[in-house]
Amino acid sequence: MLWIVATPIGNLGDLSARALEVLGRAEVVLAEDTRRTGMLFARLGLPSPKFLSFYEHNEEARTTQVLALLAEGKEVALVSDAGTPLMADPGYRLVRACREQGLPVSPVPGPSAVLAALSASGLPPYPFVFLGFPPRKASERRELFRPYATLAATLVFFERGSRVAQTMAEAREILGDRDCCLARELTKLHEEFILTSFDGWLAAPRELQGEATVVVGPPRPLADGQSARTPDETVDRLLAAARTQGCKPREAAKQVQAAVTGWTAKELYDRVHRHTAG
């Protein structure tokens, strides 16, 4: 059996009795950081199994090895550094390969930073979309947020404290101002939830240590008769693309109007001319 085992995100008391039992009899444990996982086993008083590193750059090779171990009847457990595996860590390809070969896979549910932050954030809990860790490049982060500009869903992502302010600014640019909550030190002594908005945070940003789980609320309700408005940055990109394709200003405005909301043809036409003149 391949066991997908959730481990504590801070408080050791959150490890379930079932997870403790499964880890105690696992013959092989796959971990992104085997040293860290070994320390967890020591703190829990568990015997040390065979630890194998399992991370993004060796997942393919390890998958072949793990399939062979499972075929031999070995008990294998996959853990992350903290929380539920696969949420922002490798493992999907391994699980998929097991399913395709008819090898059993079973989850041992438990701690999850995503669900912990979402449940205590004070923001709408569903529907929600988990985005993992945003990319390092600013342009790629903008592309990550772009599909959710008008989606009525709460967004959750992880971010390093040193990049929170920059990522929040880029999210604000694409998504517009929204309510948000930064959760840090979850289940630990200094657990903290900062309920604010993009504009509120950017007006007085804080330097955060470690990592934060960021929960972003859905677009704010519109006043009666008001239509959702596609962000300026998205409109400019579409207009530029239409002009690159050879459309004249009026044609570009008409083409883009069909793909956006909250913009009149005159506004778009004037915007084409303003950017052309600039």
What whole-number distance in Å separates Cα of residue 39 and Cα of residue 48?
A: 10
- The reply to whether 8 and 91 lie within a common domain is yes
The encoded tokens of residue 98 equal 């097991």
Of the residues 111, 127, 144, the one at which a domain ends: 111
Q: Residue 224 domain-assigned? A: no
Listed residues 111, 145, 172: the one ending a domain: 111
Same-domain pairing of 159 and 85:
no
pLDDT at 258: 78
What CA dihedral angle connects 113, 176, 135 and 213, to 10 degrees?
Answer: -10
pLDDT tens-digit readout, 212-237: 999 999 987 755 555 567 778 788 88
Q: Are residues 129 and 142 in the same domain?
A: yes
**Alpha-carbon distance 69 to 71, whole Å?**
5
Percent of the chain with pLDDT over 90: 70
- Structural domains of the chain, count: 3
Q: Are residues 145 and 192 in the same domain?
A: yes
One domain for residues 206 and 160: yes
Q: What pLDDT sits at residue 245?
A: 86
Domain of residue 132, CATH code: 3.30.950.10
pLDDT for residue 227: 55
Q: What is the residue range of 24's domain?
A: 2-111
Q: Do both 7 and 107 map to the same domain? A: yes
In a domain, 227, yes or no: no
In the chain, the largest separation of any two C-alpha atoms, in whole Å, equals 72
Chain Cα centroid distance, residue 86: 11
225 inside domain? no
User: Are 180 and 272 found together in one domain?
Assistant: no
Residues sharing a CB contact under 8 Å with residue 254, sequence separation 6 or more, in sequence order: 265
Question: 174 with 199, same domain?
Answer: yes
Same domain, 105 and 130: no
Residue 217 burial by Cβ neighbours in a 10 Å radius (0-12, 13-18, 19+): buried
Instruction: Indicate whether 107 and 6 sit together in one domain.
Output: yes
Distance CA 159, CA 126 (A): 21
| pLDDT mean over 245-250 | 88
Taking only the tens place, the pLDDT of each residue in 143-153 is 999 889 888 99
Evaluate if residue 278 carries a pLDDT over 70: no
Last residue of a domain, one of 111, 144, 179: 111
- pLDDT for res 223: 54
Question: Are residues 96 and 119 located together in one domain of the fold?
Answer: no
Judge whether 222 lies within some domain: no
What's the whole-model pTM score? 0.80
Mean model confidence pLDDT for the chain: 91
